Amino acid sequence: MIRISRSAQPSALLWFGRGASAAASLPGLILASAFVGFAGLAREAGFSLFESLLMVLSVWALPSMVVLVGAVQAGSGLVAAVVAVSLSAVRLMPMVMVLVPEMRGAKTRRWVPYLLSHFIAVTSWVMSLQRFPNIPRDARTSFYAGLAVMLMAFNVTVVAVVYLALPHVPAPVAAGLIFLTPMYFLTSLWGAAREKAGLAAMAFGVVLGPVLHAVLPQGDILAAGIAGGVFAYAFHRIGRARS
Amino acid sequence: MTLTFDAVDAWWWPVFFILMAGAAATDVWRFLGVYFSARFSVESEAMVALRLLATALVAAVIGNLIVFPSGALAGTPLALRVGAAAAGFAAYLAASRRMAVGIFAAEAVLMAGIWMEA
Protein backbone atom coordinates (compact mmCIF):
# COMPACT_ATOMS: atom_id res chain seq x y z
CA MET A 1 0.00 0.00 0.00
CA ILE A 2 1.33 3.45 -0.90
CA ARG A 3 1.98 5.82 1.97
CA ILE A 4 -0.27 8.71 1.05
CA SER A 5 0.85 11.24 3.66
CA ARG A 6 4.01 11.67 5.65
CA SER A 7 2.24 10.86 8.90
CA ALA A 8 0.86 7.60 7.58
CA GLN A 9 -0.88 6.65 10.77
CA PRO A 10 -3.30 3.75 10.85
CA SER A 11 -6.05 6.30 10.09
CA ALA A 12 -4.82 6.73 6.49
CA LEU A 13 -5.84 3.16 5.78
CA LEU A 14 -9.13 3.70 7.56
CA TRP A 15 -9.95 6.74 5.41
CA PHE A 16 -8.88 4.88 2.27
CA GLY A 17 -11.43 2.22 3.24
CA ARG A 18 -14.12 4.83 3.87
CA GLY A 19 -13.44 6.35 0.44
CA ALA A 20 -13.64 2.93 -1.18
CA SER A 21 -16.99 2.17 0.43
CA ALA A 22 -18.31 5.62 -0.60
CA ALA A 23 -17.99 4.42 -4.21
CA ALA A 24 -21.06 2.20 -3.67
CA SER A 25 -23.69 4.89 -4.25
CA LEU A 26 -26.24 6.09 -6.82
CA PRO A 27 -23.71 8.24 -8.73
CA GLY A 28 -21.38 5.26 -8.73
CA LEU A 29 -24.12 3.07 -10.18
CA ILE A 30 -24.99 5.61 -12.88
CA LEU A 31 -21.30 5.83 -13.80
CA ALA A 32 -21.18 2.03 -14.10
CA SER A 33 -24.14 2.17 -16.50
CA ALA A 34 -22.15 4.55 -18.68
CA PHE A 35 -19.21 2.13 -18.67
CA VAL A 36 -21.60 -0.65 -19.70
CA GLY A 37 -22.43 1.54 -22.69
CA PHE A 38 -18.74 2.21 -23.36
CA ALA A 39 -17.90 -1.51 -23.38
CA GLY A 40 -20.56 -2.03 -26.06
CA LEU A 41 -19.36 0.97 -28.02
CA ALA A 42 -15.71 -0.12 -27.98
CA ARG A 43 -16.52 -3.70 -28.94
CA GLU A 44 -18.80 -2.66 -31.81
CA ALA A 45 -16.11 -0.23 -33.02
CA GLY A 46 -13.63 -3.11 -33.30
CA PHE A 47 -11.41 -2.52 -30.25
CA SER A 48 -9.98 -5.61 -28.57
CA LEU A 49 -10.70 -6.36 -24.91
CA PHE A 50 -7.13 -5.38 -24.02
CA GLU A 51 -7.40 -2.08 -25.90
CA SER A 52 -10.76 -1.33 -24.27
CA LEU A 53 -9.40 -1.95 -20.76
CA LEU A 54 -6.26 0.06 -21.57
CA MET A 55 -8.51 3.00 -22.48
CA VAL A 56 -10.40 2.70 -19.19
CA LEU A 57 -7.21 2.57 -17.10
CA SER A 58 -5.08 5.09 -18.97
CA VAL A 59 -7.67 7.69 -20.02
CA TRP A 60 -10.35 7.43 -17.30
CA ALA A 61 -12.53 10.19 -18.69
CA LEU A 62 -15.56 8.88 -20.55
CA PRO A 63 -16.12 11.83 -22.91
CA SER A 64 -12.48 11.64 -24.02
CA MET A 65 -12.71 7.86 -24.42
CA VAL A 66 -15.81 8.24 -26.56
CA VAL A 67 -14.10 10.94 -28.66
CA LEU A 68 -11.09 8.63 -29.07
CA VAL A 69 -13.30 5.73 -30.22
CA GLY A 70 -15.11 8.09 -32.60
CA ALA A 71 -11.84 9.38 -34.07
CA VAL A 72 -10.48 5.86 -34.62
CA GLN A 73 -13.77 4.78 -36.17
CA ALA A 74 -13.74 7.76 -38.54
CA GLY A 75 -10.20 6.82 -39.65
CA SER A 76 -8.60 9.96 -38.19
CA GLY A 77 -4.82 10.17 -38.04
CA LEU A 78 -2.88 10.23 -34.77
CA VAL A 79 -2.44 14.01 -34.79
CA ALA A 80 -6.13 14.72 -35.43
CA ALA A 81 -7.05 12.23 -32.70
CA VAL A 82 -4.65 13.87 -30.22
CA VAL A 83 -6.13 17.29 -30.99
CA ALA A 84 -9.77 16.12 -30.69
CA VAL A 85 -9.18 14.23 -27.43
CA SER A 86 -7.11 17.11 -25.98
CA LEU A 87 -9.95 19.53 -26.68
CA SER A 88 -12.45 17.18 -25.04
CA ALA A 89 -10.21 16.96 -21.95
CA VAL A 90 -9.56 20.67 -21.40
CA ARG A 91 -12.44 20.70 -18.92
CA LEU A 92 -10.34 18.49 -16.62
CA MET A 93 -7.92 21.33 -15.90
CA PRO A 94 -10.38 23.67 -14.12
CA MET A 95 -11.88 20.64 -12.34
CA VAL A 96 -8.45 19.66 -11.00
CA MET A 97 -7.73 23.30 -10.09
CA VAL A 98 -10.87 23.31 -7.93
CA LEU A 99 -10.37 19.93 -6.27
CA VAL A 100 -6.64 19.84 -5.51
CA PRO A 101 -6.55 22.83 -3.10
CA GLU A 102 -9.40 21.14 -1.21
CA MET A 103 -7.49 17.93 -0.67
CA ARG A 104 -3.94 19.19 -0.21
CA GLY A 105 -2.96 19.18 3.46
CA ALA A 106 0.09 20.67 5.13
CA LYS A 107 1.86 17.29 5.08
CA THR A 108 0.85 16.19 1.58
CA ARG A 109 3.88 15.30 -0.50
CA ARG A 110 4.30 17.24 -3.72
CA TRP A 111 3.84 14.25 -6.08
CA VAL A 112 0.67 12.95 -4.46
CA PRO A 113 -1.77 15.39 -6.16
CA TYR A 114 -0.16 14.58 -9.54
CA LEU A 115 -0.70 10.87 -9.00
CA LEU A 116 -4.27 11.34 -7.74
CA SER A 117 -5.13 13.78 -10.55
CA HIS A 118 -5.07 10.90 -13.04
CA PHE A 119 -8.19 9.58 -11.30
CA ILE A 120 -10.11 12.87 -11.46
CA ALA A 121 -13.22 12.62 -13.60
CA VAL A 122 -16.74 13.93 -13.10
CA THR A 123 -18.13 11.33 -10.69
CA SER A 124 -15.33 11.24 -8.12
CA TRP A 125 -14.97 15.01 -8.44
CA VAL A 126 -18.60 15.69 -7.52
CA MET A 127 -18.67 13.04 -4.79
CA SER A 128 -15.49 14.21 -3.08
CA LEU A 129 -16.39 17.91 -3.23
CA GLN A 130 -19.65 17.01 -1.50
CA ARG A 131 -17.97 14.98 1.23
CA PHE A 132 -14.73 16.86 1.88
CA PRO A 133 -16.30 19.35 4.35
CA ASN A 134 -16.96 16.40 6.71
CA ILE A 135 -13.50 14.86 6.33
CA PRO A 136 -10.40 16.07 8.23
CA ARG A 137 -8.02 17.78 5.83
CA ASP A 138 -5.16 15.38 6.52
CA ALA A 139 -7.39 12.44 5.60
CA ARG A 140 -8.71 13.80 2.29
CA THR A 141 -6.01 12.43 0.00
CA SER A 142 -6.48 8.98 1.57
CA PHE A 143 -10.26 9.21 1.22
CA TYR A 144 -9.99 10.35 -2.41
CA ALA A 145 -7.50 7.59 -3.26
CA GLY A 146 -9.88 4.96 -1.85
CA LEU A 147 -12.88 6.37 -3.71
CA ALA A 148 -11.01 6.76 -7.00
CA VAL A 149 -9.28 3.37 -6.97
CA MET A 150 -12.52 1.60 -6.09
CA LEU A 151 -14.46 3.37 -8.87
CA MET A 152 -11.78 2.46 -11.40
CA ALA A 153 -11.43 -1.16 -10.27
CA PHE A 154 -15.19 -1.69 -10.33
CA ASN A 155 -15.63 -0.16 -13.79
CA VAL A 156 -12.68 -2.09 -15.25
CA THR A 157 -14.53 -5.21 -14.13
CA VAL A 158 -17.79 -3.93 -15.60
CA VAL A 159 -16.17 -3.25 -18.98
CA ALA A 160 -14.48 -6.68 -19.07
CA VAL A 161 -17.70 -8.53 -18.19
CA VAL A 162 -19.91 -6.59 -20.62
CA TYR A 163 -17.31 -6.84 -23.42
CA LEU A 164 -17.21 -10.63 -23.08
CA ALA A 165 -20.97 -11.03 -22.59
CA LEU A 166 -22.09 -8.76 -25.44
CA PRO A 167 -22.16 -11.38 -28.25
CA HIS A 168 -24.43 -13.56 -26.08
CA VAL A 169 -26.91 -10.78 -25.38
CA PRO A 170 -30.06 -10.38 -27.55
CA ALA A 171 -29.78 -7.52 -30.08
CA PRO A 172 -32.46 -5.27 -28.47
CA VAL A 173 -30.68 -5.50 -25.09
CA ALA A 174 -27.33 -4.74 -26.73
CA ALA A 175 -28.91 -1.71 -28.42
CA GLY A 176 -30.21 -0.55 -25.04
CA LEU A 177 -26.80 -0.98 -23.42
CA ILE A 178 -25.07 1.09 -26.12
CA PHE A 179 -27.78 3.76 -25.80
CA LEU A 180 -26.78 4.26 -22.12
CA THR A 181 -23.68 6.25 -23.13
CA PRO A 182 -25.34 9.13 -25.03
CA MET A 183 -28.08 9.37 -22.39
CA TYR A 184 -25.54 9.48 -19.57
CA PHE A 185 -23.76 12.38 -21.25
CA LEU A 186 -26.89 14.21 -22.38
CA THR A 187 -28.03 14.44 -18.75
CA SER A 188 -24.68 14.80 -16.94
CA LEU A 189 -23.39 17.47 -19.32
CA TRP A 190 -26.53 19.57 -18.83
CA GLY A 191 -26.23 19.21 -15.06
CA ALA A 192 -22.57 20.24 -15.09
CA ALA A 193 -23.00 23.38 -17.25
CA ARG A 194 -22.10 26.39 -15.13
CA GLU A 195 -23.16 29.27 -17.35
CA LYS A 196 -26.21 29.59 -19.59
CA ALA A 197 -23.90 29.59 -22.59
CA GLY A 198 -22.96 26.03 -21.61
CA LEU A 199 -26.48 24.97 -22.51
CA ALA A 200 -26.12 26.78 -25.86
CA ALA A 201 -22.78 25.01 -26.43
CA MET A 202 -24.51 21.70 -25.85
CA ALA A 203 -27.38 22.47 -28.21
CA PHE A 204 -24.99 23.68 -30.94
CA GLY A 205 -22.78 20.63 -30.53
CA VAL A 206 -25.56 18.03 -30.59
CA VAL A 207 -26.89 19.46 -33.88
CA LEU A 208 -23.58 20.39 -35.54
CA GLY A 209 -21.95 17.00 -34.85
CA PRO A 210 -24.27 14.94 -37.08
CA VAL A 211 -24.67 17.76 -39.65
CA LEU A 212 -20.91 18.13 -40.12
CA HIS A 213 -20.48 14.36 -40.10
CA ALA A 214 -22.18 14.33 -43.49
CA VAL A 215 -19.77 16.97 -44.83
CA LEU A 216 -16.47 16.19 -43.08
CA PRO A 217 -16.55 12.56 -41.89
CA GLN A 218 -12.98 12.69 -40.52
CA GLY A 219 -12.99 16.07 -38.85
CA ASP A 220 -16.64 16.36 -37.84
CA ILE A 221 -16.16 16.24 -34.06
CA LEU A 222 -13.34 18.75 -34.06
CA ALA A 223 -15.11 21.14 -36.45
CA ALA A 224 -18.41 20.89 -34.57
CA GLY A 225 -16.66 21.44 -31.23
CA ILE A 226 -14.80 24.51 -32.42
CA ALA A 227 -17.79 26.02 -34.27
CA GLY A 228 -20.19 25.23 -31.42
CA GLY A 229 -17.74 26.60 -28.85
CA VAL A 230 -17.26 29.85 -30.80
CA PHE A 231 -21.03 30.32 -31.24
CA ALA A 232 -21.65 29.62 -27.56
CA TYR A 233 -18.90 32.02 -26.51
CA ALA A 234 -20.43 34.75 -28.71
CA PHE A 235 -23.75 33.97 -27.03
CA HIS A 236 -22.03 34.32 -23.65
CA ARG A 237 -20.53 37.74 -24.55
CA ILE A 238 -23.81 39.05 -25.97
CA GLY A 239 -25.74 37.87 -22.91
CA ARG A 240 -23.28 39.56 -20.58
CA ALA A 241 -23.21 42.82 -22.58
CA ARG A 242 -27.01 43.02 -22.26
CA SER A 243 -27.12 42.52 -18.50
CA MET B 1 0.07 9.00 -45.37
CA THR B 2 -2.30 9.39 -42.48
CA LEU B 3 -1.22 7.59 -39.31
CA THR B 4 -4.53 5.95 -38.50
CA PHE B 5 -5.22 3.37 -35.79
CA ASP B 6 -4.59 0.55 -38.30
CA ALA B 7 -1.74 2.27 -40.17
CA VAL B 8 1.10 0.25 -38.61
CA ASP B 9 0.88 -3.52 -38.49
CA ALA B 10 2.57 -4.08 -35.12
CA TRP B 11 1.22 -5.05 -31.71
CA TRP B 12 2.58 -1.91 -30.06
CA TRP B 13 1.01 0.58 -32.48
CA PRO B 14 -2.57 0.53 -31.08
CA VAL B 15 -1.09 0.72 -27.57
CA PHE B 16 1.04 3.72 -28.57
CA PHE B 17 -1.98 5.31 -30.30
CA ILE B 18 -4.13 4.92 -27.17
CA LEU B 19 -1.39 6.17 -24.83
CA MET B 20 -0.74 9.26 -26.99
CA ALA B 21 -4.24 10.19 -28.18
CA GLY B 22 -5.91 8.92 -25.00
CA ALA B 23 -3.76 9.02 -21.90
CA ALA B 24 -1.29 11.81 -22.76
CA ALA B 25 -4.01 14.01 -24.28
CA THR B 26 -6.05 13.87 -21.06
CA ASP B 27 -3.38 13.67 -18.33
CA VAL B 28 -1.61 16.76 -19.66
CA TRP B 29 -4.65 18.81 -18.57
CA ARG B 30 -4.83 17.09 -15.19
CA PHE B 31 -1.13 17.74 -14.50
CA LEU B 32 -1.43 21.36 -15.65
CA GLY B 33 -4.42 21.66 -13.31
CA VAL B 34 -2.32 20.49 -10.36
CA TYR B 35 0.52 22.81 -11.37
CA PHE B 36 -1.76 25.85 -11.77
CA SER B 37 -3.93 25.05 -8.75
CA ALA B 38 -1.67 27.06 -6.49
CA ARG B 39 -1.18 29.89 -8.98
CA PHE B 40 -4.30 30.85 -11.00
CA SER B 41 -8.02 31.31 -10.55
CA VAL B 42 -10.53 29.03 -12.24
CA GLU B 43 -12.76 31.94 -13.22
CA SER B 44 -10.77 33.58 -16.01
CA GLU B 45 -12.31 34.47 -19.36
CA ALA B 46 -10.11 32.03 -21.29
CA MET B 47 -11.32 29.27 -19.00
CA VAL B 48 -14.96 30.06 -19.83
CA ALA B 49 -14.22 29.91 -23.56
CA LEU B 50 -12.34 26.61 -23.19
CA ARG B 51 -15.12 25.10 -21.12
CA LEU B 52 -17.71 26.05 -23.77
CA LEU B 53 -15.55 24.57 -26.53
CA ALA B 54 -15.14 21.32 -24.61
CA THR B 55 -18.88 21.15 -23.94
CA ALA B 56 -19.71 21.63 -27.63
CA LEU B 57 -17.15 18.98 -28.59
CA VAL B 58 -18.58 16.35 -26.27
CA ALA B 59 -22.11 17.32 -27.34
CA ALA B 60 -21.09 16.73 -30.97
CA VAL B 61 -20.01 13.23 -30.00
CA ILE B 62 -23.36 12.63 -28.30
CA GLY B 63 -25.20 13.80 -31.41
CA ASN B 64 -23.17 11.40 -33.55
CA LEU B 65 -23.78 8.50 -31.15
CA ILE B 66 -27.52 9.03 -31.50
CA VAL B 67 -27.69 9.79 -35.24
CA PHE B 68 -24.87 7.53 -36.51
CA PRO B 69 -24.57 4.69 -33.97
CA SER B 70 -22.67 1.45 -34.45
CA GLY B 71 -23.49 -2.20 -33.80
CA ALA B 72 -26.87 -3.32 -32.51
CA LEU B 73 -28.11 0.22 -32.04
CA ALA B 74 -27.62 0.92 -35.76
CA GLY B 75 -30.46 -1.51 -36.49
CA THR B 76 -33.04 0.76 -34.84
CA PRO B 77 -34.85 3.55 -36.74
CA LEU B 78 -33.35 7.06 -36.48
CA ALA B 79 -36.70 8.54 -35.43
CA LEU B 80 -36.92 6.09 -32.52
CA ARG B 81 -33.43 6.96 -31.24
CA VAL B 82 -34.03 10.71 -31.48
CA GLY B 83 -37.49 10.32 -29.92
CA ALA B 84 -36.16 8.18 -27.06
CA ALA B 85 -33.33 10.65 -26.36
CA ALA B 86 -35.77 13.59 -26.43
CA ALA B 87 -38.22 11.79 -24.13
CA GLY B 88 -35.45 10.88 -21.70
CA PHE B 89 -34.12 14.41 -21.68
CA ALA B 90 -37.62 15.84 -21.09
CA ALA B 91 -38.12 13.39 -18.20
CA TYR B 92 -34.76 14.41 -16.76
CA LEU B 93 -35.75 18.10 -16.80
CA ALA B 94 -39.25 17.35 -15.47
CA ALA B 95 -37.80 15.33 -12.58
CA SER B 96 -35.68 18.32 -11.51
CA ARG B 97 -32.51 17.04 -13.17
CA ARG B 98 -32.38 13.53 -11.81
CA MET B 99 -30.11 11.57 -14.16
CA ALA B 100 -31.47 8.16 -13.23
CA VAL B 101 -35.00 9.24 -14.25
CA GLY B 102 -33.83 10.57 -17.63
CA ILE B 103 -31.75 7.51 -18.47
CA PHE B 104 -34.53 5.13 -17.41
CA ALA B 105 -37.18 7.00 -19.44
CA ALA B 106 -35.02 7.01 -22.58
CA GLU B 107 -34.31 3.29 -22.26
CA ALA B 108 -38.02 2.56 -21.70
CA VAL B 109 -39.03 4.42 -24.87
CA LEU B 110 -36.25 2.75 -26.89
CA MET B 111 -37.21 -0.73 -25.67
CA ALA B 112 -40.92 -0.11 -26.27
CA GLY B 113 -40.13 1.07 -29.82
CA ILE B 114 -37.96 -1.97 -30.59
CA TRP B 115 -40.63 -4.30 -29.16
CA MET B 116 -43.43 -2.71 -31.21
CA GLU B 117 -41.37 -2.94 -34.41
CA ALA B 118 -40.64 -6.62 -33.94
Rounded to whole angstroms, what are the CA distances from A34 to A13, A104, A206, B116?
Answer: 29, 30, 18, 26
For residues A154 and A32, the answer to whether their CB atoms sit within 8 Å is: yes
How far out from the chain centre does Cα A40 lie?
17
Question: Which residues, other chains included, contact A146 with Cβ-Cβ below 8 Å and sequence gap of 6+?
Answer: A15, A16, A17, A18, A19, A20, A21, A22, A23
pLDDT of A4 over the 80 cut: no
pLDDT of B51 over the 90 cut: no
Which residue in B51, B53, B61 is closest to A94 by CB distance? B51
CA separation for the pair A137, A176 (Å, rounded)? 42
Q: How far is B78 from chain A (nearest CA, A)?
A: 12
Mean pLDDT, residues A80-89 taken together: 90
Mean pLDDT, residues A97-105 taken together: 87
Helix/strand/coil (H/E/C) assignment for every residue in A3-53? CCECCCCHHHHHHHHHHHHHCCCHHHHHHHHHHHHHHHHHHHCCCCHHHHH
Q: pLDDT tens-digit profile of B93-118?
A: 999 999 899 999 999 999 999 999 87
CA separation for the pair B60, A211 (Å, rounded)? 9
Mean pLDDT of chain A: 89
Interface residue A91 vs chain B (CB under 8 A): yes
pLDDT of A7 over the 70 cut: no
Which amino acid, residue A123? Answer: T
* ipTM here: 0.84
A-facing residues of B in 49-68 (CB < 8 A) are 49-68
pLDDT at position A157, please? 97
pLDDT at position B29, please? 95
